[in-house]
Chains A and B, each alone.
Chain A
Amino acid sequence: MFHRESGVFKTSYAADMALYPLPIARWTVAALLVLFAVVAPLSLHEYYLSIINLVLIAVVGALGLNILVGYTGQISIGHAAFMSVGAYTAANLAVKAHLPFWITLPAGGLMAALIGAIVGIPSLRIKGLYLAIATLAGQLIIEWTINHVPWISGGAQASIQVPRPSLLGYELRTQGQLYFFLLFFTVVAIVATLNLVRSRIGRAFVAIRDQDIAAEIIGIDIFRYKLLSFAISSFYAGVCGVLYTYYLGIANYEQFQIVVSIDYLAMIIIGGLGSVLGSILGATFVTFLPIVIRWTMESFGGLFFSPAELPGTISSLRLIVFGALIILFLVVEPEGLNRLWRNIRNYFRVWPFSY
């Protein structure tokens, strides 16, 4: 509302690639940083921080999936399996080799990247639904392997307890302490993605998504970039898995089953394919909305239902409302929350003199 341009007009490539398209973006980022780094941890109850923590972890995973699905156009239903690869790599390193988190975290990411690149090999020959099935097979193979190899899974329970992350001898265990731990890695992931998608690599991904034959003709090495996309996406997934592991204090493959892959696909589709902000909005939407719906029903449900019926009603109604809202948002704007936000912003940019 404080702008008075009639639109955004870019006249050079440098301007088009700038991280901050408008001066106000710089201030917005600074304000958000202060809000999340100072105001939120000081003013919010631990419970609300725990919800933000879950959102922060989901954002990392959604960003990774969006690089693959949104930017490169390769579908994957194996995202949760790559998270479990990262989780078990980090857990084994932390428990067997007693390594600190700043080694296990990138190691978990790298191992997931390696496995992701291998699972991505079929993408060189097949596309679309066929690729979806190939990655689905990857998900099931990884689940089965973890379940049946005690050396990886740590025994019949398939769960490994990891020590809390510690920084300079200081153990991070409360939600407030873990909040800073997670916030740091999420901010790094967001900045890295923003830079990735405006670099040579990111442009190559977009070219492959839009028309892979054309991309090949203009000199993009499809083989290299498709595998790179799988590797980078899986790296994020692996890091997301490691963050879950440190957040919960345990690596357990049952929390990375196929339903979770579907959840992450839902996040990026609702948020907006091929957009960083969309990944953030989508992760927030899918993680936070069911909780908000429950709060609302706990407050007002008593007006319509007896206390005995309320718990069962909340569970069922929550699913219905959540599903209905997803449909509503997608019907209103098929390109996701990111597009919706941009429409609103563009409207107010020229308000009240729109044409």
Chain B
Amino acid sequence: MWRVKGHRLGAVLAAGTIALAANSAAAQDKEVVFGLQCDRTGATQTVGVFLCPGYHDYIALVNSKGGVEGFKIRVIEIDHEYKVPPAMEAHERFKKEGEVLEGLYGTPQTAALAKKLEEDKILGTSPGFGAAAAADGKRFPYLFPVAATYWSQIAAAVEFAKKQLGGSLNGKKIAYLFFDNPAGKEPLVILEDLAKSEGFELRTFAVPSPGVEMAAQVLDITGRFRPDFVITHLFGRSPSVSIKELKGKGFPLSKVVSLVWGSSEADIKAAGGFGAAQGYNAMQFAGVGEEFPVIKGIIDMYKAQGKPAPKELETSVYYNRGVMIAALHVEAVRNAIKAKGGAAPTSEDVKNGMEMVKGFTLGGLVPPMTITPEDHEGGGWVQVWTVKDGKFEKTTDWFQAYRDLIKKHLVASAQN
């Protein structure tokens, strides 16, 4: 309308619009878009409220230092409340905004989007969420667990138990206490094979959803089965209940190891605090605590803005996992931009970039993984941290276990 009238105001506005358009076009040239799905309000909010701020803080840190290879990163976060239909909507939205990669969140959401990601040729990372079979890059070319899958975790847990019990599991008894859902049942095949090859007696104890009542199972474990070691694989509120119950029945927590979703500071606090959970072993796929250069960098960035350190650091287990996911995303994009000689990467370039990630440890926060077109898991590295004198202390360095067995199962599941 104002154009027709031809007033000076119109000319100014038009010039402004053109300048703005040119500006945003220039910004788009030097911008990459990341899609991040998150759950801050749904069933797994206990994880999301710490993990996603970690992700954003790392990206902000990278942007504050000029971005990745001169490209600023724009993150679009969508909270899907752990529901599947909003996850699909989120994916389409990210695609519309021109995302080069996507951070997935949640097991059913990862399953539901696996096919779509492949069709759209956009990589999705699913650390700790996706099916173990997704480690097979030939079978799921656009799905990247980029952290130890449940198969690798359970193998590592058995390896840890073996070390703790003096180097042999022959004739020993191991109890597996797990959440009765697909994620909880996934490690069973590996565990059963290991029971045969290592010669230990295995008994499994399922905890039905929502997992806050397990007195009967724990009584069965401590009173009847009397195992030498307990491996737990629980989610949400249930890890803290398991710690309380096992301790209450007098079972030594130093003979318990939990897989990665029962291993945060929040779980320990809910179980009665670090004093009560003394000796509890927790498996991690990212480093714990604030003693990493990158975390210090984030705290310094906050300080420079005159703000206190992010409060989410109190649950550094999940916060650091968010940082790790963000760092791997940035690294993949960095590889992609370098491979293209500084040009803007497409989502396929970024996928190839992710498959070049090697020797990227971020000062010890990220395991020494090597992601290849065949292995999207990066080797299945974990650490075990133990509750000791009021905090988590590192008990083992990064290790991997029984890789041949995992590979055998990956091949077998690809043939089905």
Instruction: List A residues at the B interface (Cβ < 8 Å).
Output: 45-47, 50-51, 54, 57-58, 144, 147, 155-159, 161, 173, 175, 244, 247-250, 252, 254-255, 259-260, 287, 290-291, 294, 308, 311-312, 314-316, 318-319
Contacts and interface: CB of A to CB of B under 8 A. Distances in A.
A290 B416 CA distance: 40
A248 B87 CA distance: 11
Which of A247, A287, A311 has the largest number of chain B CB atoms within 10 A?
A311
Interface centre among A54, A144, A312, A316 (most CB of B within 10 A): A312
B111 A50 contact: no
B410 interface: no
Contacts of B79: 311, 314-315, 318
Contacts of B77: 311
Interface of B: 38, 40-41, 43, 49, 52-53, 56-57, 60, 77-79, 83-86, 88-89, 92-93, 95-96, 107-108, 111-116, 119, 131, 133, 180-182, 185-186, 188-189, 208, 416
The 10 closest A-B pairs by CB, nearest first: A249-B115, A254-B108, A255-B84, A50-B92, A315-B79, A315-B40, A47-B96, A311-B77, A248-B112, A158-B182
B180 to A, nearest CB: 7
Contacts of B189: 156
Contact of A47 (B84, B85, B93, B186): B93
Contact of A315 (B41, B112, B185, B186): B41
Contacts of A175: 92
Given A156-B189, A252-B112, A311-B38, 4 more contacts: A47-B95, A156-B185, A248-B115, A252-B108
Contacts of B114: 161, 249-250
Contact of B83 (A46, A144, A259, A315): A259
29 contacts: A46-B92, A46-B96, A47-B93, A50-B88, A51-B89, A54-B89, A58-B85, A147-B180, A147-B182, A156-B185, A156-B188, A157-B133, A158-B182, A159-B108, A161-B114, A173-B119, A248-B84, A248-B113, A248-B116, A249-B112, A250-B111, A252-B112, A254-B111, A255-B112, A311-B38, A311-B79, A312-B53, A316-B40, A318-B41
Contacts of B180: 147
B115 A161 contact: yes
A175 B180 CA distance: 34
A249 B116 CA distance: 8
A159 B129 CA distance: 14
B182 A248 contact: no
